[in-house]
Amino acid sequence: MSPVRYKTVEVNGIRIFYREARNVGAPKLLLLHGFPSASHMFRGLFPLVAEKFDVIAPDLPGFGQSEMPAREKFLYTFENIARVIERFTEIVEFDRFALYVFDYGAPTGFRMAVRHPERITAIISQNGNAYEEGLSEGWTPVRAYWEDASQANRKALRAFLTPETTSWQYTHGVPDSTIVSPDGRNLDNYYLARPGADEIQLDLLGDYKSNVALYPSFQRYFRTHKPPFLAVWGKNDPFFLPSGAQAFKRDIPEATIRFFDTGHFALETHCTEIAKVISDFLGDQAGQQKTSHGFEH
């Protein structure tokens, strides 16, 4: 297995941290994390996929160990984050790659796929939503802020940023919470507690409405290009419902949907199982692509 290396690179004037296990000649796999985490959420997945794939996982701008520019210097929207990560893939020479998206990583990655469908070889969505029916009632206070961006509604969203809420996100829907390491959530809470991080995260919660507005565009991309698609879903997620996973089959009938008896952070409890499904799925796609191009008969 290639060793995991930890690097930074400047992208559009922002220092982006990433971890990589480069495997030259192997299929490329880009891992995009979600809220309120960073690429450390893939710490268990890396050794399980790095032998077969060329893997990179960046921290999104404002998250983890990537630079957190002041709000006056960088407008924290999903569009701007997607532009940075799109440019990041070009700098690290990820020309064609499979996309693994989780939570916030989904609207980031789906924007990239819509703009450059030729770069995407496959999509794996781990609780990364693109359908209205996938949004649970847990989004109600966020929707209230979308409809009325008052200070009162913004203040109400601060409940999402507390250490207690982070711990709840990690353990809700997990049959045995003792198998969830405290390392990930404690690190997430450390990053959330940095000066200025709270306002950035509130900005992004407010901007999430732009992702919902783009759902028809994402769905049109799925219908038009039909990328090989795998959903690996914690079925007890309090934010993204199983119906959101099933909905992908409307636009990609051949999509594979796999549910796991766990919550939002499915890798914390089912990393080995998900890695096996990913390896089988991407291995099948590679074999089919070779056959279709006449390399195997």
Q: Which residues contact 12 (CB under 8 A, 6 or more apart)?
A: 83, 84, 87
Would you call 293 a catalytic residue per the annotation?
no
Label each residue of the chain as H, E or C. Answer: CCCCEEEEEEECCEEEEEEEECCCCCCEEEEECCCCCCHHHHCCCHHHHCCCCEEEEECCCCCCCCCCCCCCCCCCCHHHHHHHHHHHHHHCCCCCEEEEEECCHHHHHHHHHHHCHHHEEEEEEECCCCCHHHECHHHHHHHHHHHCCCHHHHHHHHHHHCHHHHHHHHHCCCCCHHHCCHHHHHHHHHHHCCCCHHHHHHHHHHHHHHHHHCHHHHHHHHHHHCCCEEEEEECCCCCECHHHHHCHHHHCCCCEEEEECCCCCCHHHHHHHHHHHHHHHHHHHHHHHHHHCCCCC
Q: Determine which one of 33, 172, 264, 270 is catalytic.
A: 264
Residues assigned a catalytic role: 264
